[in-house]
Amino acid sequence: METPARPVFLSRTESSEIILQSDLNHLGHLFGGRLASIIDKTAAISAIKHAHSAVVTVSIDSLIFRRPVRLGSILTVKASVNRVFNKSMEVGVSVYSLPPDGPEAEYVCNAYLTFVALDAQGKTRELPTVLPETMEDKRRFAQAGIRRENRLALQAQLGKK
Ligand SMILES: CC(C)(COP(=O)(O)OP(=O)(O)OC[C@H]1O[C@@H](n2cnc3c(N)ncnc32)[C@H](O)[C@@H]1OP(=O)(O)O)[C@@H](O)C(=O)NCCC(=O)NCCS
């Protein structure tokens, strides 16, 4: 029996943390690799909530950091499953930073990650489809399809390694 589609809201995940000295690069801003790790972890939690099983990251699309994040800022990372393809799913992530002296959170970056779910033998397994309900869910669902086309086209052009 096919698993029923799962609404996007079930995979919604939000994590926040305060940026400490140990998170900074030599210029005193949040280190990009540290941010990538926080993004990957939050996205993985979202993927697990959708898949109800262990998942692994297959890819992280290009990450463009739009503004530096300062010491003492509160970083908030929001993730949800945008779309399920066959055995993979795209998780969309948005990152905001509230500076220690600022009243408003600032946009830092978006990220799109692909995950697969694994069974007990470590083999990829089928995923329930996702049900986009809101306008925003539907926009993300449609755009995830465009990104996948681009990923597949690029992979075909460059040759899979
Ligand atoms: C993920 C992994 C299991 C996929 O193995 P594989 O033999 O390429 O499997 P498949 O070809 O069946 O692909 C599985 C899915 O991944 C997708 N995929 C493969 N390469 C991809 C890429 N570069 N970008 C996005 N999706 C990709 C495929 O399209 C497929 O999804 P679909 O069924 O929805 O189309 C394998 O590459 C792996 O174990 N990688 C290491 C994962 C890991 O350890 N991650 C942690 C960071 S190191």
Write the CATH number of the domain with boundaries 6-158.
3.10.129.10
Q: Is 33 helix (H, G, I), strand (E, B) or coil?
A: helix
Site to probe by mutation for ligand 1, drawn from 88, 121, 155 as the one with most ligand atoms within 8 Å of Cβ, is 88
Tell whether the model's pLDDT for residue 67 goes beyond 70.
yes
pTM assigned to the model: 0.95
> What is the Cα Rg of the chain in Å?
17
Beta bridge partners of 95: 77, 109
Q: Is 68 helix (H, G, I), strand (E, B) or coil?
A: coil
Residue predicted with more confidence, 160 or 84: 84
User: What are the backbone angles phi and psi of residue 140, rounded to the nearest 5°?
Assistant: -65, -40
Give the confidence band of 19 by pLDDT, cuts at 50, 70, 90.
very high
Cα 39 to middle of ligand 1, angstroms: 19
| 105-137 pLDDT tens trace | 999 999 999 999 999 999 999 999 999 999 999
Residue boundaries of the structural domains of the chain: 6-158
